[in-house]
Amino acid sequence: MTAQITDPPANTTDMTASPLRTAPGPVSRILHARELGIVLALVALVTVTALRNPRFLSPQSLRDLLLSASIVAVLAVGQTAVIVTRNVDLSVGSILGLTAFGIGKLFIAAPGLPVAIGILVAVLGGALLGALNGGLIAAARVPALVVTLGTLYIFRGVDFAWASGQQINAADMPDTLLTLGTQTVLGVPVLAITAVVVAALASWYLASYRSGRELYAIGSDPDAARLYGIDVGRRVLGAFVFSGATAGLAGAMYAARFGTLDATAGRGIELEVVAAAVVGGVAIFGGSGTAYGAAIGALLLTTISTSLAVLRINPFWQQAVVGLLILLAIGLDRLLTLRAERSLRRRSPHGR
């Protein structure tokens, strides 16, 4: 197995019949990318809202919009690695809350601790909790939905027990960390830049590395992936570790942005994260989707929420629109899958 993973990229052209197919050309990717539709919907939504209320495009409004989307986008990028393997991680909100409160307690206990060390501790703590999820799923082969639903409540319970009703205030946090929550570079919030970097690195890894492409092979057909020689358990474990690490990073970002922390931080955000990934083109049945698409999906959902508030539309419609988008995304994915299957049958000499 080790020799296969370290094969040079030149040999990948011989695997067109295997689960690890070569990537399509750039023109084909642009023409067929589901992410393009999400971008067009985002542009249309922004245009309509700006026409009704020009202040929607003010620099401060755009900064607030990007800040609101950045945390969800980071979580959605981590969720992408899990969903493409035909799994789901419902514990990311609880991991965010636990690591956010943990980083606050850490800075209270060690006021002079460098902020970078605190963020690293949050990321490693999230990765450890993700490893617990992945280990239970990979070793015991228990459905991810069941495991992460259980750990969602376990991690949140630990958070409540640890907090014991205590609230950490911004005055207890280092100024350097709080500055990250408001600082901008050329008008773009640092947290939004962080989300873009995380999405870009994850997309590059999933598309360029064999171990990343194996996640798609697992999601397409786990049994075929095992027959092909892929260590499914190890890859699924790695996907959950990555999801936990991004949730830990999101916890640090949450602490930087809000400053005030308690045991309810990130509560309920997991459903928004899954919705962002699915709306962004990540197939809920596994096997396809991109990290940058999930990040765009997070931006779209955040923009919908902000636009409805600006247009003074009942918040109920926000939830209804998000639900409709999820159903449309799943329906579109199923339609594209059936079309691809019919196309393959027509091309196959044994298709008749």
pLDDT at 41: 80
Residues 108-152 have pLDDT tens digits of 988 888 999 999 999 999 999 999 999 999 887 888 999 999 999
Residues in the chain, pLDDT under 70: 1-34, 318, 329, 332-334, 336-341, 343-352
pLDDT at 84: 95
- Comparing CA positions, the residue from 202, 182, 187 lying closest to residue 67 is 182
Which are the contacts of 228, defined by CB distance < 8 A and separation ≥ 6? 18, 19, 20, 217
Domain positions in the chain are 22-343
| H or E, element range at 70 | helix 59-83
CA dist 56 → 67, 275, 284 (Å): 15, 24, 33
275 residue type, one letter = A
CA dist 152 → 79, 97, 144, 166, 203 (Å): 14, 11, 12, 21, 27
pTM given for the model: 0.84
pLDDT at 306: 84
CA distance 151 to 155: 6
Residues 140-166 have pLDDT tens digits of 788 899 999 999 999 999 999 998 888
Overall fold of domain 22-343: ABC transporter involved in vitamin B12 uptake, BtuC (1.10.3470)
